Homo-oligomer: A and B are copies of this chain.
Amino acid sequence: MAAAEFWYEFASTYSYPAAMRVASLAEERSVALGWRPFLLGPIFAAQGWRDSPFNIYPAKGRYMWRDMQRVCDGLELPLKRPDPFPQNSLLAARAALALEGEERANFSRQVYAAEFGEGLPIADRAVIAALLAKLGLDPEAVLGRAESDANKARLKAECARAAELGIIGAPCIVTDDREVFWGNDRLEQGLDWAAGRRA
């Protein structure tokens, strides 16, 4: 079966609609999808950015928020801007990485729905714990695994892998032959590529 990876960052706005769309797009193409949470912070820092480019460049931010509204309207997804933006996504990324398979995918969608659908602060441990409980998981057990040294090291390795793949933003589809497709608007092309439909 064809396979692809979905690389996403919880602070990333366009990763929200992408996370909501990607599973069914992969299924339609019979592509097995791996969910790969990571942090853009180290990648942005390497470019000299210490904040979201949407904050550093206000015109870019204005464009993005208007575009996100249109994208979410088109998908009938609610959009509420979290404050502050971007949210610190470290805990959410660690928790996602401490889960596997469908649990990771379900938790990740819940995080995005809370953050960008309801505007909730995902840096808040109680918010993450409540989302885990909602999924029938034991919040303290998952957060304990999330904050273990092994899991922290694993997230660092994932970030290093993202940089090595040439990832410069989120979300991305990465194929087995190391092609990177960046953007919510490129999911279809990336998954088509993974499925062997390259026209």
Oligomer: number of copies: 2
Contacting A168 at CB < 8 Å: which of B63, B70, B186?
B63
Known A179-B70, A199-B74; contact A59-B168, beta-carbon cutoff 8 A: yes
A85 to B39, CA, bound (A): 31
Report the count of interface residues on A (CB-CB < 8 A). 26
What are the residues of chain B within 8 A of A51 when measuring CB–CB?
none
Judged by a CB distance under 8 angstroms, whether A185 is at the interface is: yes
Known A47-B57, A57-B168; contact A180-B63, beta-carbon cutoff 8 A: yes
Interface residue ranges, A against B (CB under 8 Å): 43, 46-47, 57, 59-60, 62-63, 66-67, 70, 74, 163, 166, 168, 179-183, 185-186, 189, 193, 198-199
